């Protein structure tokens, strides 16, 4: 269940958020359940970011419309660019580190080929969206919401199908992987993902990741498992250079849901 900050539209639609697989408390659970739960949280961050764009984008007038504000358009486009980089980073870690290690652990070549092929189904659309967002930041007068939305609509259903299906694939690893081995693969993938995160990501991706985590989701959670000072560092240092873009985030940097700041009724609050 989603904790919405009000009855107004929020980022639990149009793309529905994924339920989190529940880890049983009474027996010693296979680590596939924990891995699937972490993956579902992380996919929900991607979906909240996508929904934040779809919910607020129509309310940012282009240059031909009344109440146009050039900076608002640039901020929206930067947010879109950051979202595409977040999705890319997530899938790059899976393809280069996590999935090959899972196949090796299970001793089954091609075990993860389903999710890998699904990546191909939306990859070119994601690249097109990133290129559009980058190009239009230098040509704001040519930006059109309709055009941006058309690019998203062409690949988002395939992305959604993938984000949903991958949770089931990871739960099924219980059959083919030993629990300890899978946990080691998971920990290593997290370590590599953090190591691959360059300084630019702290300025351009982390503020979106933290601002799309909802710590109240389904009764509360501790995702992402990060040291307590990180949200402060993002808010007061790394997030400052593009603070206009982070206005599109649906949650604050501590994972607290907020009414969508760029909806007309919430502007200036």
161-200 binders of Fe ion (CB under 5 A): 166
223-242 binders of Fe ion (CB under 5 A): none
Q: Given the complex with Fe ion, which of 75 and 166 has the nearer CB atom?
A: 166
Least distance (Å) from Fe ion to the CB of residue 45? 11
Q: Given the complex with Fe ion, which of 162 and 242 has the nearer CB atom?
A: 162
Stretch that binds Fe ion, among 131-139, 158-166, 179-187, 192-200 (CB under 5 A): 158-166
71-130 binders of Fe ion (CB under 5 A): none
Least distance (Å) from Fe ion to the CB of residue 246? 23
Least distance (Å) from Fe ion to the CB of residue 203? 24
Q: How many residues bind Fe ion (CB under 5 A)?
A: 1
Q: Cα 56 to chain center, whole Å?
A: 16
- Which residue number is nearest to Fe ion in terms of Cβ? 166
Q: Given the complex with Fe ion, which of 194 and 256 has the nearer CB atom?
A: 194
Stretch that binds Fe ion, among 7-15, 61-69, 80-88, 159-167 (CB under 5 A): 159-167
- For 257, list phi and psi in degrees, rounded to 5: -60, 145
Least distance (Å) from Fe ion to the CB of residue 167? 8
Binding site for Fe ion (CB under 5 A): 166
């Amino acid at each position: 269940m989603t904790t919405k900050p009000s009855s107004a539209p929020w980022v639990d639609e149009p793309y529905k958020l994924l339920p989190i697989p529940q880890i049983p408390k009474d027996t010693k659970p296979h680590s596939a359940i924990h891995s699937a739960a972490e993956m579902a949280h992380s996919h929900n961050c991607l979906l909240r970011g996508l929904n934040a764009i779809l919910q607020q984008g129509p309310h940012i007038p282009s240059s031909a419309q009344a109440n146009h504000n050039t900076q608002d358009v640039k901020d929206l486009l930067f947010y879109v660019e950051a979202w595409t980089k977040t999705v890319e980073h997530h899938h790059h870690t899976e393809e280069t580190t996590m999935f090959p290690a899972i196949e090796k652990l299970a001793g089954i070549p091609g075990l993860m080929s389903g999710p890998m092929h699904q990546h191909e189904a939306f990859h070119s659309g994601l690249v097109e969206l990133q290129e559009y967002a980058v190009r239009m930041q230098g040509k704001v007068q040519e930006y059109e919401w309709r055009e941006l939305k058309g690019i998203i609509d062409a690949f988002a259903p395939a992305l959604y199908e993938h984000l949903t299906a991958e949770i089931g694939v990871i739960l099924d690893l219980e059959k083919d992987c030993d629990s300890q081995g899978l946990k080691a693969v998971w920990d290593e993938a997290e370590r590599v993902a953090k190591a691959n995160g360059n300084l630019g990501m702290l300025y351009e991706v982390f503020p979106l990741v933290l601002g799309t985590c909802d710590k109240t989701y389904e009764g509360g959670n501790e995702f992402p498992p990060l040291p307590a000072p990180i949200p402060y560092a993002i808010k007061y240092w790394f997030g400052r250079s593009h603070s206009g873009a982070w206005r599109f985030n649906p949650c604050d940097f501590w994972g607290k849901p907020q009414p969508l700041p760029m909806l007309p009724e919430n502007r200036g609050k």
